[in-house]
Amino acid sequence: MNIPTVLCTFAIAIGAVITIAAGSVRPQRMPLLVFCDVGQGDGAYIRMEDGFDAVIDGGRDGRMVSCLDQYRYPDDSSIDLVIVTHADSDHYAGLINVYRRFPVRYTILPSAGSSDASYAEFRALVASHSAVMPPPQLGDSLRFGSAVFRFLWPGRETKHSQCLHDRNSCSYVHLFSYQDFDVLFTGDVTRKQLNRILLNNVQSLEVIKVPHHGSAGGLSPQLVSKLNPQSAVISVGKKNPYKHPDESIIRMLQGRTVYRTDSQGAIIFRLPRSPGQAK
C-alpha cells in the first residue's frame, strides 16, 4: 500500500499519538491477524482492509516470508510497519529475509538492541531498507488509519544497560486495537513486567499473545483474570528444548480458547470490518 501523507514528524513526545494517514479503502478486503508458524519464536502479521499491513517479529528463519506470501494481499508487495519486540534471534533473524524481499516503510527497533555482531548486521540492513522510527516511549500510540498500536512497556525508568543484560524483560509490550478488537502483544516479558504495567485500561482482551512462548514465568492467575482474554495464542516450536509451553500456563488458561502454533500451524483471526464495509 502507498501511504500518501505522513501527518507527523518522527519526534515523539511522551504520550504522543502519532497519526499516519491510511490509503483509500478498497472494497472486498478481509482484515486479518495471523500468528505465523515460525517454530520456536514469534512472528505475527496484520493486514487491514485499507491495505495497511504490519509485521510484529519474524521468527528465526524463512518461515516468516512464507507466511507473508500466503496471507498478504496479492497486489501488496510492501510492508508498512515492522515492530521488533526485542533483539533475540527467534524474534528478529527471520526478518532478514523479509527486508531482502519486501520494501518496508517504517521500522520500530528495540531501544537497547544487542551487542551481538549478527544483530549489528541486522540493524544495518534495516537502516538501509526502511525508515527507522525513534523507540516509542511508554504511553505513545501509533495510529495507521483505524489501526492503533499503544506502547505499554518498557517504562521510562528502565535502564539501557539492564535491557542489554536481560533483553526479554525489555520486550515491547503493546496493545493493538482495531474497533473493539484488542490484542496484547507481550514479546518475551515475564509476569514481573506485566504486573508493573498499568493495565487498568487493558481488560477483556480479545487475544493475548502469551509471553515468552508459554514459559512458566510469563503469566499469573491474577493477570489472566484481570486481562480476561477470550483467546490466548502460544507461539512455540514442536519439541523445543525449553519444554515450552509450561503446564502451569496451560492450566491458568483453562476456560479460554487456547491456540498453539506447534500443533495447529498458523493461527488466523478475522478482524471486524468497518461499519458499512461489504461482507
Interface positions with Zn ion (CB under 5 A)? 90, 188
Q: How far is the CB of 89 from Zn ion (least distance, A)?
A: 9
Single-letter amino acid, residue 264: Q
Tell which residue, 47, 43, 36, 42, has the closest CA to residue 74: 47
Q: Rounded to whole angstroms, how far apart are CA atoms 208 and 185?
A: 6
Q: Least Å distance between CB 210 and Zn ion?
A: 11
- Report in angstroms how near the CB of residue 107 gets to Zn ion at its nearest: 19
User: Which residue lies nearer to Zn ion by CB, 141 or 169?
Assistant: 169
How far is CA 43 from its chain centroid?
7
Shortest Cβ 103–Zn ion spacing (Å)? 26
Q: In what order do the strands lie in the sheet with 43-47?
A: 131-133, 104-108, 79-83, 53-58, 43-47, 32-35, 267-270
Residue 49 or 90 having the CB closest to Zn ion: 90
Q: Which is nearer to Zn ion, 57 or 80 (CB)?
A: 57
**How far is the C-alpha of 209 from the C-alpha of 148, rounded, in Å?**
17
Cis peptide before 245 (omega within 30 of 0): yes
- 201 phi/psi in degrees, rounded to 5: -100, 10
Nearer to Zn ion by Cβ, of 188 and 206: the residue is: 188
Q: Which set of grid coordinates corresponds to residue 94?
A: 527471520
d(CA 276, CA 269): 20
Shortest separation between residue 169's beta carbon and Zn ion, angstroms: 12
Please state, as a whole number, how many other Cβ atoms lie within 10 Å of the Cβ of residue 127.
Answer: 12
Which residue, 1 or 87, is less far from Zn ion as judged by CB? Answer: 87
Between 90 and 206, name the residue whose CB sits nearer to Zn ion: 90
Shorter beta-carbon distance to Zn ion: residue 148 or 234: 234
Give min distance, CB of 86 to Zn ion, in A.
8
Shortest reach from residue 60's CB to Zn ion, in Å: 9
Q: How far is CA 226 from CA 154, 205, 219, in A?
A: 20, 10, 11
Of 37 and 90, which CB lies nearer to Zn ion in the complex structure? 90
CA atoms within 13 A on the CB side of 137: 11
Measure the CA–CA gap between 271 and 48, rounded to whole angstroms.
8
* Least distance from Zn ion to the Cβ atom of residue 41, Å: 6
Where does 74-116 have alpha helices with state H? 89-92, 95-101
